[in-house]
Amino acid sequence: MKLSGGLVLCFAALFLSLTPVHGIKRLHTINDLKNVDFGRSVPKHSLLLLHWFANTIDIDNNDVMRLTFDPNLGTYGSHHYGNYERILDPLPHGNIRYRYYTVGNLNRGQVDLPVYVLHPPREEFRGRNRDRIIFRVREQTTGWSAGETIDEVYITQHFENSNEGTRYDPAHTYRITTNLLRQIREFSVEENQRNSLMELRDDFGSNISDSHLQNLLAVWRELACLGLLLFMILEEKYNQNNKPRPADRRTPPHCAINVPEEIQNHYSPLQSLRGVFAQDQIHLEVTTGPNGKALIHWRDVPEDRLNQQVMVVLYKDNSSQEALYSKVIKTSDGHVNTSVLLNPGLQARLHKTRVKYCFWTVAAEEICRGREFENPDKVRLQDYDMYLQLFVKDGKAGARLFVDKTFTYWRSQFNKSWVGFYENEHKTTQEYEWWQWQWATKFQPASTTVDHFHDVYEYHSGMTITPGVQARFILRNYSVLARTPSWR
């Protein structure tokens, strides 16, 4: 407000008796919003309205806020607000004309308010048309012109009690500072302005977990940044006056959530070779994780790679270009439990990243790749031209019999023989897994394994593969003809 000191004093004196306006709290930061009683005395919907408003006006580098619509035309359900109840400061008199406007009437704004304000994706955020935004405009000229400046913004609400008519409730009116509007704008849902969810989380000191972020994304989809803002305000109501202020946000995006994404094929074998044989002796391996899921291990990823932001990506096999799982990594050694059921062929690769759709980080150029996950070798049955192999299929243990094509009488030879599964190699032969065994003669021809010298038969058990698991080929008198190596 650029009025002379004298004028200000004069008006202050004039209205002092009429206007107890000092009760209105100012909210400067997102943390300040956490102290507002949303969901009880203040509708949660007003957060959506505020988010929309913050992203609808312009704020320039000098913190000058400008209108992008004409409130006199009723755009977004806006209209002039007379402040007759004196909830807000009386308008300054002088050469410059000020006016209050209110916006957010859902009935009147139906045509131009965005869908998420009118019909939020979650019931708890539905508006009951009580909450409003009031803003004060400083009119440069007579009549409206684009770029009128806004000098004050409030959130408020109509009294719930209809006896109060359409009055606004001064006890639940808050002044919103330009700084807070700026912070809220970081959570824009506009495609070209959207920030990465993880970046927002880190910059605003939220503790939301990666899996929560994934849930947020599932529910709020393209509104996920708004979802994160709401989560922080409503779910993280800590008093965090000692938290560091958000850093300057003009740093490049440095993180995002791990959404398996179609990999753009920037692969070049040369790059891969350089990755493997030159300065980076990076080690990548797929092993057996909990519940039959694949686990990715990495070792010796150099610092400079980590600083550029890299991700481990799981593929079906060496020839696949379709990512099954991916995760941005931050340490040079580590592991991650993936959600992918273990199967032979699975391969981990290290990729550079780039940000796509603003808040999804996807794999870019490949840096290097590990070996395909393999079943252990088959073992020979004592004295016979026959082999036993332990294998994994979709996280479950299976056994395969390789029978030499010349061994035609094997069925009668092993009529009462069976294959048992054991939790580990130390179990006695009687301690086989109950139900997890099968007669050798009941094994089914294996369709996928081709072997020119052997007929291949297999049995799929229901036993989840874990490190230590072993299969044994057993005669009716409990003599063991073969033991596979323990599963690694």
Of 374, 314, 318, 319, the C-alpha closest to 343 is 374
120 three-class SS = coil
Q: In whole angstroms, what is the distance from residue 457 CA to residue 93 CA?
A: 93
**At its nearest, how many Å lie between ligand NAG and the CB of residue 375?**
16
**At its nearest, how many Å lie between ligand NAG and the CB of residue 230?**
13
Q: Strand 25-27 to strand 174-176: parallel, antiparallel, or no bridges (unpaired)?
A: parallel
Q: In whole angstroms, what is the distance from residue 101 CA to residue 309 CA?
A: 46
345: left (phi over 0), alpha (psi -120 to 50) or beta: left
DSSP state of 137: E
Strand partners, 22: none
Of 448, 461, 335, the C-alpha closest to 392 is 461
CB 64 within 8 Å of CB 149:
yes
**At its nearest, how many Å lie between ligand NAG and the CB of residue 208?**
8
**At its nearest, how many Å lie between ligand NAG and the CB of residue 15?**
40
The encoded tokens of residue 253 equal 């995006």
**At its nearest, how many Å lie between ligand NAG and the CB of residue 245?**
13
The encoded tokens of residue 480 equal 């063991």
**At its nearest, how many Å lie between ligand NAG and the CB of residue 275?**
12
Q: In whole angstroms, what is the distance from residue 152 CA to residue 146 CA?
A: 18
Measured over the CA atoms of residue 16, residue 19, residue 23 and residue 28, the dihedral's sign is negative
Pick the binder of ligand NAG from 6, 23, 252, 290 (CB under 6 A): 290
Chain position carrying tokens 């639940």: 172
Nearer to ligand NAG, 80 or 371 (CB): 371
CB 312 within 8 Å of CB 324:
no
Nearer to ligand NAG, 240 or 339 (CB): 240
Nearer to ligand NAG, 122 or 416 (CB): 416
**At its nearest, how many Å lie between ligand NAG and the CB of residue 16?**
40
Q: Indicate whether 271 belongs to the interface with ligand NAG (CB under 6 A).
A: no
Number of residues that bind ligand NAG (CB under 6 A): 20
**At its nearest, how many Å lie between ligand NAG and the CB of residue 188?**
21
Pick the binder of ligand NAG from 62, 269, 303, 430 (CB under 6 A): 269
Site string for ligand NAG, 406-445 (x = CB under 6 A): ---------xx----------------------x-x----
Residues 6+ positions from 402 with CB-CB distance below 8 Å: 378, 386, 387, 388, 389, 451, 454, 455, 456
Site string for ligand NAG, 34-73 (x = CB under 6 A): ----------------------------------------
Residues 6+ positions from 119 with CB-CB distance below 8 Å: 126
**At its nearest, how many Å lie between ligand NAG and the CB of residue 354?**
21
Nearer to ligand NAG, 274 or 335 (CB): 335
Nearer to ligand NAG, 212 or 335 (CB): 335
Nearer to ligand NAG, 137 or 224 (CB): 224
Q: Could you say which residues in the range 186-215 bind ligand NAG, by CB under 6 A?
A: 205-207
Q: Indicate whether 464 belongs to the interface with ligand NAG (CB under 6 A).
A: no
Q: Indicate whether 326 belongs to the interface with ligand NAG (CB under 6 A).
A: no
Q: In whole angstroms, what is the distance from residue 223 CA to residue 229 CA?
A: 10
Nearer to ligand NAG, 236 or 404 (CB): 236
Q: Could you say which residues in the range 368-397 bind ligand NAG, by CB under 6 A?
A: none
**At its nearest, how many Å lie between ligand NAG and the CB of residue 412?**
7
**At its nearest, how many Å lie between ligand NAG and the CB of residue 234?**
12
**At its nearest, how many Å lie between ligand NAG and the CB of residue 315?**
10
According to the 3-state scheme, what is the secondary structure of 168-223?
ECHHHCEEECHHHHHHHHCCCCCCCCCCCHHHHHHHCCCCCCHHHHHHHHHHHHHH
Q: Indicate whether 222 belongs to the interface with ligand NAG (CB under 6 A).
A: no
Nearer to ligand NAG, 153 or 232 (CB): 232
Q: Candidates 52-60, 160-168, 183-191, 335-343: pick the segment binding ligand NAG (CB under 6 A).
A: 335-343
CB 294 within 8 Å of CB 286:
yes
Q: Looking at 290-431, which runs of residues are DSSP E strands?
A: 293-299, 310-315, 323-329, 334-341, 347-356, 360-369, 379-380, 386-393, 396-404, 418-422
Q: Indicate whether 479 belongs to the interface with ligand NAG (CB under 6 A).
A: yes
Nearer to ligand NAG, 121 or 345 (CB): 345
Backbone angles phi, psi at 356, to 5 degrees: -120, 150
CB 343 within 8 Å of CB 393:
yes
Nearer to ligand NAG, 277 or 439 (CB): 439
Q: Could you say which residues in the range 223-242 bind ligand NAG, by CB under 6 A?
A: 236, 238, 240
Q: Indicate whether 336 belongs to the interface with ligand NAG (CB under 6 A).
A: yes
Judged by the rule CB under 6 A, the positions of this chain that interact with ligand NAG are: 205-207, 236, 238, 240, 269, 289-290, 318, 335-337, 415-416, 439, 441, 475, 477, 479
